[in-house]
Amino acid sequence: MAQIEHIPFNDITVQHLHELVSAKVEEGRTIEFKQELKIGTDSDKKEFCTDVATFANAIGGVLIIGIREAGGAAAEVVGIDAPNRDALARQIEEILQAGISPRIPWIGVRVIDLGNGKAGVVIKVPQSPMAPHAVGRHGTYRFCTRGESGKLPMDIPQIRNSILLSEGLRERLRSFRAQRVGRILAGDGCTKLTPGPRLILHLVPLNALGNPDEYDLSRFQRGDHSLFPIDSSGPSGTHFNIDGVIDISGQRQPKGALGYVQLFQQGAIIEAVDAVTMFMNQAEYSNALSAVYTLRKLPIAVGRYLGVLTTLGTPTPCYCMISYVGMKGRTLWLSNHEAGDTPCDRDMLFLPEIAINDATKPPGEILKPAFDALWRSFGYPMCDFYNEAGALNLPPPR
């Protein structure tokens, strides 16, 4: 059975809870079982918040309430009383928000009907980029993390190291992006590319920046996967390389490939490069970037790649970074007949990092901060293809 920590959160069902029992899954660093939900007193709430904070201060994990454990392993799905499941989920979220400092971003609370008048509660806690998280109030705080045997108090060196790692997250992301873009520009990327501008997309799971896991990529031996380049409609040249697995578009072109996507075995980082699709290189569209292709192709690719990461079971959050190279003097064409008035004033555009916790969210909505920044680079205040609810309204095809 798949580890419940790696199952998409919204897909967890009562069947998964029973599978934990039948497999006698043991508690450990990323999973803990509780028979009851104890939140009746301030002391109970503090202990509950501590249980959750330990996951965020370590590598993330899942707290499941309504499963009796015996000898440290899941023994029986017993459930808890939950006459109003939505109200219970809100109550849990409020307790966690009030009791943990700083608040843990992207906690998921799912109350599952067991069909017998009872419910199970699954709380998914990501490894936090804002660690360490403390529990307490009035100047007295408790810092805990998790080991294989459960929660452990953090000593001063651990707290200090956690703070330093958290503060350095943005710098590590930027350093990774700069290093990879530099290698691509130097022709030392994953394959030779045709000369010209570049769109470079990175999806980086948080744990890839610390202690990256090694992922089994054997499934990509088959052709039924979604790991193919931004401009492609299916796998075209998938093969394994020293970094993991790669698919290349137009690899037989005399001047170089048109794009590629590389999945790194260590950390499950995805790097995708497009050298043609987004850029309108016909004579009448000299030095142009196509808004239509950008808004259509990029969200589709991001959604596809997030699906790959979900299938691999990578933990959230995942960071999305979009970079453009060769942009100085280019204009943004909003349609076939409408070019912008303001050319881009720099060669390289590093759009802001986007933290993705919910891989099921529409990719167009996820990418709004990046598209707004891209539009500003061409003299617009924001990308105006979004409605008031933040949904992307795609322009008509070219």
Instruction: Give the tens place of pLDDT for each residue, 218-236.
Output: 888 876 688 999 988 787 7
Q: What is the pLDDT of residue 234?
A: 80
Task: Kindly give the pairing relationship between strand 61-65 and strand 31-34.
Answer: parallel
Q: Which pLDDT value is given to residue 32?
A: 94
- pLDDT at position 395, please? 66
Q: What is the pLDDT of residue 285?
A: 61
The superfamily CATH assigns to domain 4-167 is: Schlafen, AAA domain (3.30.950.30)
Three-state secondary structure call for residue 351:
coil
Between CA 205 and CA 210 the distance in angstroms is 10
pLDDT at 171: 82
Q: In this predicted structure, what is the pLDDT of residue 299?
A: 94
- pLDDT confidence of residue 4: 81
Q: CB atoms < 10 A from the CB of 188, how many? A: 9
Within 8 A by CB and 6+ apart from 243, the residues are 190, 262, 264, 265, 266
Helix (H, G, I), strand (E, B) or coil at 41: coil
Whether the CB-CB separation of 335 and 398 falls below 8 Å is answered with yes
Q: Take residue 309 and report the two structure tokens written for it.
A: 């990461």
Domain ranges of the chain: 4-167, 169-376
**What pLDDT sits at residue 212?**
78
pLDDT of res. 265: 94
Predicted pLDDT of residue 337: 65
* Rounded (10°) CA dihedral 311, 313, 316, 319: -60
Length of the chain in terms of residues written: 398
pLDDT at residue 397 in the model = 56
Which residues of the chain register pLDDT less than 70?
A: 1-2, 138-139, 164-168, 210-211, 223-224, 277-286, 336-337, 395-398
- Of 32, 210, 201, the closest CA to residue 129 belongs to 210
- The pLDDT score that the predictor gives to residue 144 is 87
| Whole-prediction pTM | 0.70
pLDDT score of 6 = 72
CA 224 to chain CA centroid, nearest Å? 23
